[in-house]
Amino acid sequence: MDVKIIEGMDNLLKDNDLGKEDIQELINEAAANGSTRKSKMKILPPGEKGEFVVTTLRKRCMTLIRYRTRDISSLIDEACGCGACLDQRIGNIERFVV
């Protein structure tokens, strides 16, 4: 469904986050553009695409070692314009349906 259609519906709050049911929220959509990473990550160099893989050892959620999300992402090496974001953000998340 188109984002503009969803935003136009009454009583709906559009919030674009990347996370999985078994783990905490990982990435939040930035107000200006793109998304901001919420936690410290080992990341590829800017512009290089790769699969978003998660390892979490937190006590509050299920322990996951190299949980493959099947999301392809790429780091954008520029500051976010909203000011409240971290210094780098993840962009170009491509969803694949099998």
Which residue matches tokens 């410290």?
40
What does the buried/exposed string (b/e) look like for 55-92 if buried means 16 or more CB atoms within 10 Å of the residue's CB? ebeeeeeeebeeeebebebbbbeeebeeeebeebbbee
Measuring CA to CA, which residue among 50, 56, 89, 41 is closest to residue 71?
50
| Per-residue confidence (pLDDT) for residue 49, from 0 to 100 | 76
List average pLDDT for each run of 10 residues in the chain, which is 98 residues long. Answer: 60 51 54 54 71 68 66 67 52 50
| Per-residue confidence (pLDDT) for residue 17, from 0 to 100 | 47
| Per-residue confidence (pLDDT) for residue 98, from 0 to 100 | 43
| Per-residue confidence (pLDDT) for residue 42, from 0 to 100 | 65
The model's pTM is 0.43
What is the Cα–Cα distance from 64 to 72, expressed in whole angstroms? 19
Helices (H) and strands (E) in the chain, counts: 1, 6
| Per-residue confidence (pLDDT) for residue 85, from 0 to 100 | 46
